[in-house]
Structure 1
Amino acid sequence: MVQIGYTMMTEQAGPRALVDHVVGAEKAGFDFSVISDHFFPWLASQGHSSNAWAVLGAAAQATSRIPLMTLVTCPTTRYHPAVVAQQAATVQLLAEGRFRLGLGSGENLNEHVVGGGWPSADVRLEKLEEAVGIIRALFEGRTLTHHGAHYDVEHAKLWDLPDPPPPIGVAVSGEHSCRLAGHLADLVIATEPDKKLLDAFDRHGGTGKPRIGQLPVAYDEDRDAAVDRAHEQFRWLGLGWKVNSELPHDESFASASGSVTKDEVAESIPCGSKVEDFVEAVRPYAEAGFTEVALVQIGGDRQAGYLDWAARELLPALKEL
């Protein structure tokens, strides 16, 4: 049975609302939750981008059952990996073991804010691999001094160390990242139901490890309103990872997605209130071998109705997958 998760989208709601939403998701019966970690929204129409780690601390205290996870944090540019290790260890303690650390190679959209340019994809993955090694070493309780190709760490140690430390997930989009994830991660993350990615993950050591997907949805009793909202806030989705990782500003995403039509968005994102449409959108993830799927309800002001509907109709239907 595929576990179904709830996504706290920092780009579409303020921090207090995000905490309220994950409390509601726990009550509704979602199996787990994830949170995005951005400095910018993809589009100005989303309207928010609060600090994910501050929200996680509040969410850990406001909930008692639902697992928490970053999907995903980039530990290479905006954050130093030693800082990510400390943040993750602290949230794991606050959440009493309910936290998982999802990592990725990042997007220019968020990482450009600290300057220094945006490296090529192969360099970004080199940096991610080195960062994961630093985080692992600190999770082991070691006093770490490290001088690597991309990072320096001087006599670092985590003084508040959870047992166990957070499991580490790595987001993948191709063979290179699948190799890294299979070798270094406890679980894999992908945003498309591509079985080839999971097969590559398995080839590189991922067999038997959890695999988490993510899917945007737009619930609304008025399907046209759902399509409008999905187009307004998520039309960038179809640009693909290779484009999305390179664009530097929300204005860039608005320009690049300007020709995307509402019909095109509605073809890739289930919209409305027909449960079967949402189930059929999740089905490819289950068939590809994903063990968990985190749903993203589009619209920060459309969460309460979605959570009520999910508890009554959607989650029971998805349990049949």
Structure 2
Amino acid sequence: MTAIGYTLSSEEHHPSALVDYAQRAEAAGFDFLSISDHFHPWVGEQGEAPFVWSTLGGVATATEDIDVGVGVSAPIQRFHPAIYAQAAATVAAMFESRAFYAGVGTGENLNEHVLGDRWPEHAVRMEMLEEAIGVIRKLWSGREVSHHGDHYTVENARLFTLPEEPPPICVSAYGERAATAAADFSDGFWSVGPQEAIEVWEDNGGEGPRFCQLQACVAETEDEAVETAYRYWPNSGLPGELSAELATPALFEQATQMVSKDDIAEGSIITDPDPQAHIDSIETAIDAGYDHVYTMQIGDDQGALLELYEEEVLPSFS
């Protein structure tokens, strides 16, 4: 059975608001939540970027049964894998018997450059991610760990606060090479939008939960939705690897000058207010092989999507 989720967008909302939206999503009947991890928003208009692990502490205490995942963190530069291991273990312990999913990836320069480290090419970042996951798993064993690898050093480290079961580590991968590599060291797959890479991941032995985020803007009219999405999420129209390589919100704002409202209207964001458009998009993701599909509402009016899904969309998947 497919789990249907709701996105807590750290780039757009104050942490206290995110906790409130988590409560409302649980009351609406969503199966799980995913929260983004950013040091910066993509563009300044989005306006927020709270520390995800603090926000998750609030979500853990404000909700009761809903499962949660981080989609996704990059435990390779901004977070040393030992620090990521402690943060994720603490949060997973706070969710107690609920499922907590650790989504990880190779990150974006936008967030990871802030400590002044060199931004490596993608192949190197994948090597770093594989080594980081190995370190994290060792620490989640509860044993004392020393590690002297190609990218990371850990000495006499032991985590004392751990969940009953380690969270599944779901790796984000978009290209064929990344998906092939991720199949060897992941416990699941994470994606924005249905990606063909999931087939590569599965063909190479990838197993576990498979997450897919959809992007939407629910408004009274499609024109209003396009206007809102263009204002708050023009970065969705950027091509290729720009999203991984640009370093600041100001650079994203410059790059998105080549994105038009027509690009938004014709792109992947669901702007049709008809609930069937949302149902169809979720079914497309399910048909592509995903068993966890979650939707992000762009803009201030989160209630519009929460109400639409509670009344019209979620009943189709119950």
**Is the 1:30–1:66 Cα contact (8 Å) retained in structure 2?**
yes
- Mapped partners of 2:139, 2:309: distance in 1: 39
Q: Which residue of 2 aligns with 1:233?
A: 232
Is it true that 1:165 corresponds to 2:166 in the alignment?
A: yes
Superposition deviation, residue 35 in structure 1:
0.5
1:210-229 Cα shifts (integer Å, max 9, x gaps): 21101110011132221111
Superposition deviation, residue 310 in structure 1:
1.4
User: Matched residue of 1:295: which SS?
Assistant: strand
- Mapped partners of 2:209, 2:303: distance in 1: 29
1:247-258 aligned at under 5 Å gives the runs: 247-258=246-257
Of residues 214-223 and 34-43 in structure 1, the stretch that sits farther from structure 2 once superposed is 214-223
- Mapped partners of 1:206, 1:122: distance in 2: 19
Q: Which residue of 2 aligns with 1:129?
A: 130
Residues 180, 140 of structure 1: alpha-carbon distance in 2 compared, 3 angstrom cutoff = farther
- Mapped partners of 2:11, 2:288: distance in 1: 28
- Mapped partners of 2:33, 2:200: distance in 1: 26
1:165-314 aligned at under 5 Å gives the runs: 165-194=166-195, 196-207=196-207, 209-240=208-239, 242-267=241-266, 268-299=268-299, 301-314=300-313
**TM-score, normalising length: structure 1:** 0.95
**Is the 1:221–1:272 Cα contact (8 Å) retained in structure 2?**
no
User: Matched residue of 2:211: which SS?
Assistant: strand
Superposition deviation, residue 241 in structure 1:
5.4
- Mapped partners of 1:175, 1:155: distance in 2: 37
- Mapped partners of 1:52, 1:134: distance in 2: 21
- Mapped partners of 2:219, 2:272: distance in 1: 5
Aligned length: 316
- Mapped partners of 1:233, 1:170: distance in 2: 27
User: Matched residue of 1:153: which SS?
Assistant: strand
- Mapped partners of 1:60, 1:177: distance in 2: 32
**Is the 2:73–2:104 Cα contact (8 Å) retained in structure 1?**
yes
Q: Which residue of 2 aligns with 1:82?
A: 82
- Mapped partners of 1:97, 1:7: distance in 2: 21
Q: Which residue of 1 aligns with 2:38?
A: 38
**Is the 1:130–1:150 Cα contact (8 Å) retained in structure 2?**
yes
Q: Which residue of 2 aligns with 1:148?
A: 149
User: In structure 2, what residue type is equivalent to 1:221?
Assistant: E
Superposition deviation, residue 137 in structure 1:
0.6
- Mapped partners of 2:92, 2:76: distance in 1: 21
**Is the 2:25–2:306 Cα contact (8 Å) retained in structure 1?**
yes
User: In structure 2, what residue type is equivalent to 1:131?
Assistant: A
**Is the 2:275–2:308 Cα contact (8 Å) retained in structure 1?**
no
- Mapped partners of 2:15, 2:253: distance in 1: 24
Q: Which residue of 2 aligns with 1:27?
A: 27
Any runs of at least 4 consecutive aligned residues in structure 1 with deviations exceeding 4 A, and if so which?
A: none
| Aligned residues with identical type, % of pairs | 42
User: In structure 2, what residue type is equivalent to 1:215?
Assistant: L
- Mapped partners of 2:153, 2:260: distance in 1: 46
- Mapped partners of 2:129, 2:239: distance in 1: 20
User: In structure 2, what residue type is equivalent to 1:306?
Assistant: L
Residues 138, 240 of structure 1: alpha-carbon distance in 2 compared, 3 angstrom cutoff = farther
Unaligned 5+ residue runs, structure 1? none
**Is the 2:172–2:191 Cα contact (8 Å) retained in structure 1?**
yes
- Mapped partners of 2:67, 2:239: distance in 1: 28
**Is the 1:173–1:241 Cα contact (8 Å) retained in structure 2?**
no
User: Matched residue of 1:245: which SS?
Assistant: helix
- Mapped partners of 1:171, 1:310: distance in 2: 26
User: Matched residue of 1:205: which SS?
Assistant: coil
**Is the 2:238–2:259 Cα contact (8 Å) retained in structure 1?**
no
Of residues 140-149 and 251-260 in structure 1, the stretch that sits farther from structure 2 once superposed is 251-260
Residues 53, 240 of structure 1: alpha-carbon distance in 2 compared, 3 angstrom cutoff = farther
Of residues 181-190 and 37-46 in structure 1, the stretch that sits farther from structure 2 once superposed is 181-190
**Is the 1:25–1:307 Cα contact (8 Å) retained in structure 2?**
yes
**Is the 2:180–2:200 Cα contact (8 Å) retained in structure 1?**
yes
Unaligned 5+ residue runs, structure 2? none
User: In structure 2, what residue type is equivalent to 1:125?
Assistant: M
User: Matched residue of 2:59: which SS?
Assistant: helix
Residues 68, 199 of structure 1: alpha-carbon distance in 2 compared, 3 angstrom cutoff = same
User: In structure 2, what residue type is equivalent to 1:199?
Assistant: E
- Mapped partners of 2:177, 2:146: distance in 1: 27
